[in-house]
Structure 1
Amino acid sequence: MFGLASALGGMRRKVWAWPIGIVGNLLLLTVFLGAVFHTPNPVNLLGQAGRQLMFIAVSVYGWFAWRSNRHSDGAAVTPQWASGRQRIGLVVALVGGTLVLTPVFRALESYEPVWADAWIFMGSLLATYGMARGWVEFWLVWIAVDAVGVPLLLSAGYYASAFMYVFYGAFTAVGFIVWWRIDRASSRVVRLGPGT
């Protein structure tokens, strides 16, 4: 519920989305360290657990960034497309980070296939950062994360989490359309001038 509330707040561009998300991340941290916290599922997904810590750190950045940018309409950010250079940076960081983290997660004995865990970690980092920056593409990065994450969670026996990410995948598609329309509308106002 915390994750859904945070995603809804993010779609509506509300600052409160960030602290709500942090609470959800703390709860999920205990889930993905099953062996450490003696949960019903004794499998540790170290990338998923590390992802929660990363979410908390990047969410603090997003929280402060959105608080300082709040608009008169209550929205914290105006959606915009990343530049071509920023998009290339996202792709390079996603692929390169996955390649670098895969052997690290393997050494830490994360669940196989380890590359999927690394992909999810890097994609989550980049999507959260993109949300903080107000880039429309961050929703598409989430879809790429969910496309890999759902099969990984199913194979590890995290069925409830897999179902949650299927739902999030549909939600992120809607979020993408919402932010895309906001960007188009604001671009039109800039092109034509206010009141047209």
Structure 2
Amino acid sequence: MSAIHWLFDATFTIHDQTVLWREVIGNLFGLFSALGGMRRKVWAWPIGIAGNALLFTVFLGAVFETPNPVNLLGQASRQIMFIVVSIYGWYRWKHARDGGGDAVEPRWAGGRARILLVVALIGGTAVVTPVFTALGSYSPVWADAWIFVGSLLATYGMAKGWVEFWLIWVAVDVVGVPLLLGAGYWASAIMYVFYGAFTLTGFFVWAHTRRVAAVPVLPDPEPVPLAR
């Protein structure tokens, strides 16, 4: 059996749940990508893209005839979205680093951008939900739509260097865990729990980095001449 065939077909069992190894590997790639993102490393983007490609096949269970024949259209289509936005983020971070600076400089999005993010998350979910419903996504469909829209906004925020993007991931994880458990994607649900804790850590790390960068550097005092 070739490595590709093994990666596509290999499974293991947790109690009565059959889990695909590519679901586990894809989520681990996502975790490493998040770690690289927290450390502002350019390699976070290609690692994430590899995980997205694997998870795309996982969440179209009925299409790829996996042991869990459930289609989560939001989860599957967000992998495509991840790849597209990650190419943008990869270019943006690499271009910044090649210019002699850090891959990205964390900064606050600002009041207006925060309002727009919240409106986009809620409004986007309302718009996407009937689309996913018509396509036959797993219920509750609004949760699948929330995850899709939130993931798009979080990935865009990461590319822009907004500290708040970590909090959008937290909102995605809170909804994602019960949805994935209900759909039988146990490995992804467990990874979402780790993601939730990790994204909170990432938020505080980036916020601290921003606070340190905002502290003005005072010039050294002029030397005082000694009296003779």
TM range (shorter): over 0.9
Structure 1 gap ranges (5+): none
Q: Say yes or no: does 1:22 pair with 2:49.
A: yes
* SS of structure 2 residue aligned to 1:22: helix
Structure number having the greater helix percentage:
1
1:2-41 pair list within 5 angstroms: 2-41=29-68
Equivalent position to 2:80, from 15, 35, 53: 53
- TM-score, scaled to structure 2: 0.82
Question: 5 Å matches for 1:1-196?
Answer: 1-70=28-97, 72=100, 75-188=102-215, 191-193=216-218
The 1:186/1:108 distance shift into structure 2, 3 A limit, reads same
Where does structure 2 lack aligned partners over 5 or more consecutive residues? 1-27, 222-228
Distance 1:79 1:39, change over 3 A: same
Q: Taking every aligned residue pair, what percent have the same amino acid on both sides?
A: 72
Deviation at 1:38, TM superposition (A): 1.2
Cα distance in structure 2, aligned partners of 1:184 and 1:195 = 21
TM-score, normalization: structure 1?
Answer: 0.95
Q: Which amino acid aligns with 2:187?
A: A
| Cα root mean square deviation, aligned | 1.5
SS at 1:174 equivalent = helix
Give the aligned length.
193
Question: Using a 3 Å threshold, how does the CA distance of structure 1 residues 109 and 120 change in structure 2: closer, same or farther?
Answer: same
Larger radius of gyration: 2
Matches of 1:30 and 1:53 in 2, distance apart? 11
